[in-house]
Structure 1
Amino acid sequence: SNLDRLGGHLKPAVYSRLPDFIAKYGAETAAEYAEFEYKHVDVIAEVIKKENIWCEFEIVRAFDLYLDPEQAIKAKNSIDDLIWTDEDRAEEVSGFRGCVGCFSSRAATPWPYKLFMGILNKAVSQGLNLQTNTLATSITSTPSNGTPTWTATTQRGTISASKIIIATNGYTSALLPEYKNKIVPARGIASHIVLPKGASAPRLPGSYGIRIPGAIDYLNQRPDGSIVVGGARTTFYATDSHWKNIADDSALIEPAAHYFDTYMQRHFTGWEESGAIVESIWTGIMGYNSDALPSVGEVPGRDGCYIAAGFEGHGMPVIWLVMKGISEMVRYGKSTEETAVPSILKTTEERLKSTENRLASKE
């Protein structure tokens, strides 16, 4: 499972994607999508409270830091409803050296594995048949009284149902070949940084999206003072063979293997003499999209087959309400439009046939 590889940053992208979305889809559609993401912090907080799930969930201010002055000016001009800090105080407010401006917005930092294990535990106790470590190798459909019956073939046998949900993210094309060039496996890297026994360092004022030109690192501090930080794209992203179309998360991305060494000492005020060290480092597989958007809804040409995949490493403020919409489609026969899923996420024949490909090789 990729659940134990998530960085734990429930952070709606309430402004960073908006200028592009407004230009491409119009202001109303872009606002609909931003609101959809923004709801996730409160919705998931409510679920955690209602189900009494312990997962180190904390509401925080999330800092988006800019290290390039031109990028900072452009970002500041694109928003009007978040808290912006100019260069004269940006380092002091964020605690990050070299920061020339930053936003802060509302976010949360759960421990994703514990959150979703808590939810799964509730579901299993209500009768869910959960099959872990069970590779699905193919899906097929056969007509039955006018409606298809879907059969999933796995390493442990087959299972059939009238409806099937494909929530396989970067691995989707193995089961749905029509998504082969639409949802691409993309390998990322993250780390866990700890303090030596007896050492201390300041609590950070929030979580972070550290915007380096052409890349972003994401960072949050856990309740025990340790740090989870991921990204490191500046070391490898220009070379496709390090990350693109890679579905194997058993090996590190070699150019990034030491990127997080002394990360806190180099960047954060008060951490210079902390002795913080990388306790563990790992890779995980995300699902990147040719058009930058997840695919959600009934798969074109496959009645009774639904998809929710391609979350771009940004699934935490999207997936919960997407799956609420999918469950309404499956249980009540609703169309995508009849749910709260933003219209731009709907999987369509047009999107599948589109020649748009932002993932085309630039090498």
Structure 2
Amino acid sequence: MTSSRSSSRNSIGGIEGGKAFPISSGMSLSHWLQSVRSSPLLDYRSTQDLPTTADVVIVGSGMSGTFIAYELLRQPNPPSKVVVLEAREFCSGATGRNSGHCKPDQYRGFVKYAKLFGEEQAKKLLDHEFKTWSKLVEFVEKAKVDCDLWVGDTFDVAMSPEVARDVVAAFDAYKAYGEKSAYGGKVDHINYISDPAEAEKVSRLKGALAIWSWKASTLFPWKLVAHIMQLCLDKGLHLQTWTPVSSVTTSGNRMWSVHTPRGVIPAPTVVYATNAYTSALLPSFARYIQPTAHMCDKVVPPRAYAGGHALQNSYAVILPAQLGAYTINPRCSADGIVLFDGWDLGRGKLEKYLDEDPRRLFDDSLNGFPAVTEAINELTSTALAGWSEGENAAGVGPVYAWSGIIGLIADTLPFVGAIPDSPGQWVCAGFHGHGMAHIFSCAPGLVTLMQGGSWAETELPECLQLTPERLGRIERKGLHFQP
């Protein structure tokens, strides 16, 4: 199996010659991490010395690892000692580096998923994403979490006839499935604007040809995870930041030894909430999870897009295949900063840069990449009506960018479940840049399995389960890593 972009990438996946690439301690600070520099959670250690024993060790303190810990500790008979190990600052991986967009796919992935897993599973996946989004919103609202939650209409915007044709085909295919299947496939909650003039007016994007909109959210992801972590600490969780795991080895008697520079923790249960970094500890996963660096840009809008004129929707702006796509997250319920993310126009040059040295795939120390920032400048100036009139004002425009590491999956879906032939080891990782729409369901699903429940009891789509059969299918089909 080879990467669709570079064969050199697939050969490493976090290791080279059996040696794991270290996680850079010189990471860039995302917009989120810049905003919480006084939080004691950043370098929190529950105890001065590393715990010498644990019932469960969770590797990773992002949304996945933290929510797994929360679900474990809220069970009727929780493990007595749960330890979360974080290589660097608390929640400084993918969760703390994304653009804060929780957007459930409601039709666009149906055709792709149907080809890979069948129409029934494709429908279950779309339902799963909507349920996950609903659970996240319900949790935040019920617990009154201070995380800048916004709920409103998100747009898919087609920017070329080719894209409009392909997206219409996906929309119609899903709608047709709903009409012929007892499982449904309803699109009543999706508003479709097919008139280009109306699409431009509603989206404020020059050249928009069509829009599909439905409910989604944006939020401050680090603050949400910090809230959940504090609940865990109140229940006795042990959190150890700046404690990278170098290896996990068997120690007999159904125990695992978790090795760190600060010592070794023996535990019967180990959970890998390591997303793109999974292959650094589980080398065989280099064939299934492909890390790749990604950029997100923080942009200060001009007067025409501030105050009462601020953007009021989140976007996926879909460009022709050779150009990719990008997302827009306007923090309209918070500071008004606009975050640009996605497979944007500058991606080609970024890909070339990454391919020159495979270690760059893990590099989240970038605090800007000129080609990406230039593409953002061009897009805002040419596509957003009126933006250019105030873009030269001091403090306006792209002011900062940072890199994060996405875990691409060969069949595009995360792995949830027991690691084959490793009793007591579990994984919830590889979210393909779409973790916000998966984790709030995948984490409790994994806990159900850890406590002896069946896959049916998780209520997750079967295609998310980590099984030898799924891994074998990926290898037999020679699937490529694609965004």
Q: State if a TM-score over 0.5 links the two structures.
A: yes
Within 5 Å, which residues of 2 pair with 1:136-147? 136-144=245-253
Contact 1:12 1:107 in 2 (8 A): yes
Task: Give the letter for the 1:231 counterpart.
Answer: G
SS in 2 for 1:40: helix
1:268 aligned residue = 384
Contact 1:232 1:256 in 2 (8 A): no
SS in 2 for 1:92: helix
Q: For residues 197 and 14 of structure 1, do their structure 2 counterparts lie closer, same or farther at Cα, with a shift above 3 Å needed?
A: closer
Task: Give the letter for the 2:365 counterpart.
Answer: S
Within 5 Å, which residues of 2 pair with 1:133-172? 133-144=242-253, 148-172=254-278
User: What is the CA-CA distance between 1:232 and the residue it aligns to?
Assistant: 4.8
In structure 1, the gaps of 5 or more residues are: none
Within 5 Å, which residues of 2 pair with 1:12-31? 12-31=104-123
In structure 2, C-alpha distance between the alignment counterparts of 1:249 and 1:85, rounded to whole Å: 38
1:346 aligned residue = 465
Within 5 Å, which residues of 2 pair with 1:51-90? 51-79=143-171, 80=175, 81=187, 82-86=190-194, 87-90=196-199
Contact 1:329 1:336 in 2 (8 A): yes
Task: Give the letter for the 1:204 counterpart.
Answer: L
Task: Give the letter for the 1:206 counterpart.
Answer: N
2:338 aligned residue = 227
Task: Note if 1:45 corresponds to 2:137.
Answer: yes
Task: Give the letter for the 1:55 counterpart.
Answer: C
Contact 1:199 1:274 in 2 (8 A): no
Deviations 1:224-276 (A, max 9, x none): 22201112543234875434651111124453243223543332234232323
1:356 aligned residue = 477
SS in 1 for 2:460: coil
User: What is the CA-CA distance between 1:280 and the residue it aligns to?
Assistant: 1.0
1:259 aligned residue = 375
User: What is the CA-CA distance between 1:24 and the residue it aligns to?
Assistant: 2.8
Within 5 Å, which residues of 2 pair with 1:277-292? 277-292=397-412
Moved more, 269-278 or 176-185: 269-278
In structure 1, C-alpha distance between the alignment counterparts of 2:347 and 2:480, rounded to whole Å: 15
SS in 2 for 1:19: helix
Contact 1:169 1:287 in 2 (8 A): yes
User: What is the CA-CA distance between 1:178 and the residue it aligns to?
Assistant: 1.2
Q: For residues 357 and 274 of structure 1, do their structure 2 counterparts lie closer, same or farther at Cα, with a shift above 3 Å needed?
A: farther
Contact 2:116 2:411 in 1 (8 A): no
Deviations 1:275-327 (A, max 9, x none): 23112101100100122221110011111111111101111010111001111
SS in 2 for 1:316: helix
Kindly tell me the number of residue pairs found equivalent between the two proteins. 357
Task: Note if 1:247 corresponds to 2:362.
Answer: yes
User: What is the CA-CA distance between 1:360 and the residue it aligns to?
Assistant: 6.1
In structure 1, C-alpha distance between the alignment counterparts of 2:388 and 2:329, rounded to whole Å: 18
In structure 2, the gaps of 5 or more residues are: 1-91, 176-186
1:191 aligned residue = 297
Task: Note if 1:209 corresponds to 2:316.
Answer: yes
User: What is the CA-CA distance between 1:196 and the residue it aligns to?
Assistant: 6.5
SS in 2 for 1:105: strand
Q: For residues 171 and 211 of structure 1, do their structure 2 counterparts lie closer, same or farther at Cα, with a shift above 3 Å needed?
A: same
In structure 2, C-alpha distance between the alignment counterparts of 1:199 and 1:17, rounded to whole Å: 31
CA RMSD of aligned residues (A): 2.2
Task: Give the letter for the 1:329 counterpart.
Answer: L
User: What is the CA-CA distance between 1:48 and the residue it aligns to?
Assistant: 1.1
Greater relative contact order (CA < 8 Å, ≥ 6 in sequence): 2
SS in 2 for 1:220: strand
Task: Give the letter for the 1:224 counterpart.
Answer: D
Within 5 Å, which residues of 2 pair with 1:277-316? 277-316=397-436
In structure 1, C-alpha distance between the alignment counterparts of 2:427 and 2:210, rounded to whole Å: 39
Q: For residues 97 and 131 of structure 1, do their structure 2 counterparts lie closer, same or farther at Cα, with a shift above 3 Å needed?
A: same
Task: Give the letter for the 1:334 counterpart.
Answer: G
Contact 2:109 2:170 in 1 (8 A): no
In structure 2, C-alpha distance between the alignment counterparts of 1:300 and 1:99, rounded to whole Å: 47
1:113 aligned residue = 222
Deviations 1:57-103 (A, max 9, x none): 01011101111112212312322412111123110011111111111
In structure 1, C-alpha distance between the alignment counterparts of 2:401 and 2:384, rounded to whole Å: 20
In structure 1, C-alpha distance between the alignment counterparts of 2:402 and 2:350, rounded to whole Å: 19
SS in 1 for 2:101: coil
In structure 2, C-alpha distance between the alignment counterparts of 1:357 and 1:342, rounded to whole Å: 23
Deviations 1:98-152 (A, max 9, x none): 11111111100011111111111111121111111211111112331xxx11221
In structure 2, C-alpha distance between the alignment counterparts of 1:127 and 1:256, rounded to whole Å: 43
SS in 1 for 2:388: coil
Q: For residues 17 and 232 of structure 1, do their structure 2 counterparts lie closer, same or farther at Cα, with a shift above 3 Å needed?
A: closer
In structure 2, C-alpha distance between the alignment counterparts of 1:262 and 1:253, rounded to whole Å: 15
User: What is the CA-CA distance between 1:44 and the residue it aligns to?
Assistant: 0.8
SS in 2 for 1:136: coil
TM-score (structure 2 length as normaliser)? 0.70
Q: For residues 174 and 199 of structure 1, do their structure 2 counterparts lie closer, same or farther at Cα, with a shift above 3 Å needed?
A: closer
Contact 1:207 1:220 in 2 (8 A): yes
Within 5 Å, which residues of 2 pair with 1:88-99? 88-99=197-208
SS in 1 for 2:345: helix
Contact 2:157 2:316 in 1 (8 A): yes
In structure 1, C-alpha distance between the alignment counterparts of 2:354 and 2:344, rounded to whole Å: 10
In structure 1, C-alpha distance between the alignment counterparts of 2:126 and 2:210, rounded to whole Å: 22
User: What is the CA-CA distance between 1:33 and the residue it aligns to?
Assistant: 1.0
In structure 2, C-alpha distance between the alignment counterparts of 1:235 and 1:114, rounded to whole Å: 30
In structure 2, C-alpha distance between the alignment counterparts of 1:138 and 1:107, rounded to whole Å: 39
